[in-house]
Amino acid sequence: MPAVTQVFIAGLSLLITCSLVPAIYADDAQAEKVKDNFFTDEVFPILKSRCLSCHSHEAGKAGGGLVLDSRNGWLKGGGSGQAVVPGKPDDSLLIQAVLFDGLQMPPGKRLPKKEIEILRQWVTIGAPDPRQDMSPKADPKTLWALQPIKNYAPPRVRNKMWPLDDLDRFVLAKMEQAKIEPNDPADRYTLLRRVTFDLTGLPPTPEEIQAFVNDTADDAFAKVVDRLLDSEGFGDHWARHWLDLSCYADLADISGNMLIRDAWRYRDYVIASLNADKHFDQFILEQLAGDLLPYQSNTQRREQVIATGYLAIGPWILSNYIKKQLDADVVDHQIDRIGKTFLGQTISCARCHDHKFDPIPTRDYYALAGIFHSTLTTSYDGPGVWSQISHHELPQATITTEEKQSIETQLADLRSKHESHSAKLTDLLLQLPGATNANVLTTKDAVEANVRDVNYSVSFDAAPSVWAAEIQATNTIDGLRIDFIRPDGTTLHSIIHKPGEWRRTENSQTFKPASYTYTGDGSGPVTIRISVSSPANDRFGGAIDNLSITAGDKEVLNESFNFVTTNAITSKQAHTNLSVFAKTTLQGWIGMGVNHSHAVEHEPGNLALQLFGGTQTNLAAAKPASDEERGLHKKAIEIQFKLDAINKRIESLEASQSPEYALAVSDVPTPTDSPIYIRGEFDSLGDRVPRGFLSAVSTTHSRAIEASDSGRLQLAHWLVDPANPLTSRVLANRIWQKLFGTGIVSTVDYFGVHGDTPTHPKLLDYLARRFSVDNRWSLKATIRQLVLSRTYQTASSHNAVSSIIDPDNRLYWRMPRRRLSAESIRDAILAISGQLDSARGGSPLGLELPGNIRGLGGNVNPPTWGNQIADYIANRRTIYMPLKRERPTGELEILTVFDFPHPSEITGLRPQTTVATQALFLLNSPFVKHQSVMLAQRLQKDYSEDEQKRIIQLYQLTTGRPATAMELNEAKTFLDACSADFEKSAGNTNRARIMAWEQLCHGMLASNRFLFYE
């Protein structure tokens, strides 16, 4: 939106110039629009605040028979006749009435003079009133956006040399009509910087600059465009445009920080799809209904399921305790997103009543709502208030049988090593009191369960964990260990029970029975010891209940774990809200470990024993008292390290095998139509509306939604139906806007009655057709044509004549000068300083960092993210940064400062502000300062001997062109003056020069030369 300042100036002087409007605007449509704006801005507020409460359909009043809520209303007039005679204020009853000349309106309260003057002026200029089309509602037959797309031939132009592409003829024809000359072509430096930022969000490198300016071939620019379209940077940049529209974030819920793990797969899917130039109709089908599409391979299936993250990820208030409200809000947002993104329609307005202006009845809203209510997006399985975003296990990417076997062999080997090391460690820990956090419980008295040759059966109930928080659930290595110890301290038998990995598929509180056997050897009663199988892990090994040992029919032990020695409930568990008795003892047992006898009331009155692993920290902090203990301690630490290494290998091997999940939607088991929610309230239901689409939008044929279908697939097909005029127009306009700054329809998300009308309606149709028909929805082909046009390649320079005729550049006589987007500023600074990390993809959350998963104990909320950005993520492109569901802060403050959209908003067009905090950021932030130092170092390293070359390079990097002789001199003068100053404080000439260089680099990064591209 580069021309805004001029728009505003034009607006300020509107009253003075409006009578001149026809002369300075290029065509009548433009003039009409300005007049309509005058009505909307100046006149309508007066009517609304002063008149409509007694003279409108909405108020239900027509005082004196007059309504003023439409052009027809005042034309028809009331009992006294026509209320307004366009062009004739003195003959208009309305004017007479506000002047208290005869009639007195508003009754008893004269309007301020200024308002009367506005009304007079309005009538004088012909009483423009765009509301004629909106009362009561636009007719689909007349709303431009709903008309079929026509196949217009490119118009004839006088300057036949100018057009490079047919689209230029549409643009030029308008300019010729308005007697405007387009600007000359931009120079090569400018053009390369423009296209590189537009296509990849990054600046051109000095090598790319030199290559292009020296390439004399006719297709030099086309080669550049192809190179950029083929680069991965294209997807990194254009995917962000799409994510702006799809409310993407890596975390969830209202706190902005609730942990969800798999959102990034959708982000990576978008990037990969755009880089692969997946045709947009397919792209849309996958995102709306990928789970319903046929597939040839697991890889394709994965991709299609992940794609539905488009619907699954959003600003859901998962903690909303009224789940019907949550569902209704989710559905509303999905409808809103699809309406705005693809159709340019505010369908959500019809949630409570028929759309006020656009032809969208409430029934249409609920026809769509039925589709999304039949789609599972969030689910609630309690307890607590939190819902979950629906997620689906992904089919494994295909691996060969040999690979699979090899992994399994390795795992078996590692697991057996793990077991023996764990046993050793547990033994050592028992001899080192205070060295462990681990729960270890031993029976006070030995149990008569060791008669020679008697077979004992050990049975118990085990659960993976009664904690729902994932980190505290067990994985495959974790489990319970039960040792049967002879009077002499040796072990008769050990049971290692691993409940198996708990992922989101299994209820962590479900106890399952398990049984084992052993045979007695007659060496005397055994002491029973319960511990975790993996004492090195900082996790729960699981929960155990109802331990019983029998010999034939005879029960020798029956432990319910229900009796604790103190009754103090020390806390409530996260999520489950179950009572926990920690730091107590169980009757009949001796415990050790900081939290020993961690008993949990998993059912009212029924406790279970929960086992927690030890920690490395504790072992490291232990202070062995004697030489013997020191020896044991050393040994324990050695084993601990070995175990740690084994664990890591097991985890990474398992990760390659373990199920992966995506946030994704699916159909509910029984799809149903939605009733109308009267006034939008879910507890006030009206008729059911069959699932379907917008009634005002054409399709080639109707697509029946079977009872068993949600209708998402049909909806997706309908969006890309060749007869639907909206999707291709809206998307073509979006692509155009990203490249040319302003849309042909400037309200890119809204093509309704109150939206802007196209400045070039024929061009828009031409582009929409070309995109959807000729290019078969190929984004890259479409972008290629647009940037190879003459229009795209013009200079951005000012032209005194053109800017008087068309100050807003709505005829595209120049390319706009644009500020870099938030992420381009960050990415470009990193690229220039040489610090940009080219690594791409994967989870941005760095969950392996200690403390990066928070809120696991003591409160009722699910885990949150700990805000640490891992080193391996920190210098990547912005799209790979973790996004909370709020405006970015901390290390990513730069995004908020430079107008990055709120992740909960559907944003087709970002605002572009100029505020002091941006200046403060560029001047003072640690980020810019640090990168300036890095940039100075980079230049020093590359051209250590030649300061002149360094300056040239600095200019190339930051502005896209080498420094001129004058700029060279200026920079040198600055460096000399600056280092002379610094020499006093730095006391060292070299250091002073380096500091001066850092200042110069910082200055360039904060300057308009860097910040704008043109």
Partner 1 sequence: MKKHYPCGNSRREFVWEMGAGFAGLALTSLLGQDHFFDRVSAAAPTNALSPRDGHFPVKAKSVIFLMMNGAPSQVDTFDYKPELRKFAGMPLPADKEYINSGNRKVGFLTPEFRPFKPGGESGLMISDYFPGIRKHADKLAIINSCHADSHAHGSALVGMNTGSTFIGRPSLGSWTVYGLGTENQSLPGYVVMMDKRGGPISGEPNYSSGFMPSTFQGTLFRPVGNPILDLKGPAYVNAKSQRKQLDLLAKLNEKHLNARPGGTELAARIQSYELAFRMQAEAPEAVDLSMETQATLDAYGVDGGITDEFGRNCLIARRLVERGVRFIQLYSGGGHLADTWDAHVSIENNHGQHAAEIDQPIDALLTDLDERGLLDSTLIIWGGEFGRMPFSEGKNAPGRNHNPYGFSMWLAGAGVKGGQRYGATDDFGFEAVEDRAHVHDIHATVLHLMGLDHERLTYFHQGREESLTDVHGRVIKEVLA
Is 368 exposed, middle or buried (CB count within 10 Å of its CB: 0-12, 13-18, 19+)?
buried
Nearer to partner 1, 257 or 475 (CB): 257
Inter-residue contact 674 to 373 (CB < 8 Å): yes
Separation between Cα atoms, residue 513 and residue 509, nearest integer Å:
13
Nearer to partner 1, 186 or 225 (CB): 186
Nearer to partner 1, 420 or 1007 (CB): 1007
Nearer to partner 1, 133 or 629 (CB): 133
Separation between Cα atoms, residue 1004 and residue 953, nearest integer Å:
12
Inter-residue contact 348 to 332 (CB < 8 Å): yes
Nearer to partner 1, 399 or 920 (CB): 920
Nearer to partner 1, 544 or 975 (CB): 975
Quickly tell me which residue has 């699981």 as its tokens.
542
The dihedral built from the CA positions of residue 529, 534, 537 and 538, taken in this order, carries a sign that is negative
DSSP state of 830: H
Inter-residue contact 580 to 543 (CB < 8 Å): no
Nearest distance in Å: CB 926, partner 1: 6
Nearest distance in Å: CB 819, partner 1: 7
Nearest distance in Å: CB 931, partner 1: 13
Give the burial string for 444-479 (b: 16+ CB within 10 Å, else e). eebbebbeeebebebebbbbbbbbbbbebbbbbbbb
Nearest distance in Å: CB 919, partner 1: 4
Nearer to partner 1, 299 or 859 (CB): 859
Nearest distance in Å: CB 213, partner 1: 19
Q: How many CA atoms lie within 13 A of 635 on its CB side?
A: 16
Nearest distance in Å: CB 921, partner 1: 5
Nearest distance in Å: CB 348, partner 1: 8
Nearest distance in Å: CB 752, partner 1: 5
Separation between Cα atoms, residue 602 and residue 869, nearest integer Å:
36
Quickly tell me which residue has 């795209």 as its tokens.
792
Nearer to partner 1, 289 or 957 (CB): 957
Nearest distance in Å: CB 377, partner 1: 15
Separation between Cα atoms, residue 797 and residue 787, nearest integer Å:
18
End-to-end CA distance of the chain: 13
Give the burial string for 193-210 (b: 16+ CB within 10 Å, else e). bbbbbbbbbbbbebebbe
Nearer to partner 1, 225 or 468 (CB): 468
Nearer to partner 1, 528 or 1006 (CB): 1006
> Concatenated DSSP letters for 927-978?
HHHHHHHHHHHHHHHHTSS-HHHHHHHHHHHHHSSPPPHHHHHHHHHHHHHH
Nearer to partner 1, 840 or 910 (CB): 910
Please name every residue paired with 443 in a beta bridge, in sequence order, or none if there are none: 589
Nearest distance in Å: CB 911, partner 1: 4
> What residues have CB less than 8 Å from 872, skipping those under 6 apart?
837, 839, 846
Nearer to partner 1, 548 or 803 (CB): 803
Please name every residue paired with 581 in a beta bridge, in sequence order, or none if there are none: 599
DSSP state of 810: T
Inter-residue contact 186 to 815 (CB < 8 Å): yes
Nearest distance in Å: CB 389, partner 1: 15
Nearer to partner 1, 11 or 81 (CB): 11
Is 538 exposed, middle or buried (CB count within 10 Å of its CB: 0-12, 13-18, 19+)?
middle
Nearest distance in Å: CB 362, partner 1: 15
Separation between Cα atoms, residue 98 and residue 118, nearest integer Å:
11
Nearest distance in Å: CB 187, partner 1: 13
Nearer to partner 1, 711 or 725 (CB): 725
DSSP state of 49: I
Nearest to 498 by CA among 480, 483, 512: 480
Nearest distance in Å: CB 1006, partner 1: 6
Structure tokens at 876: 């990547």
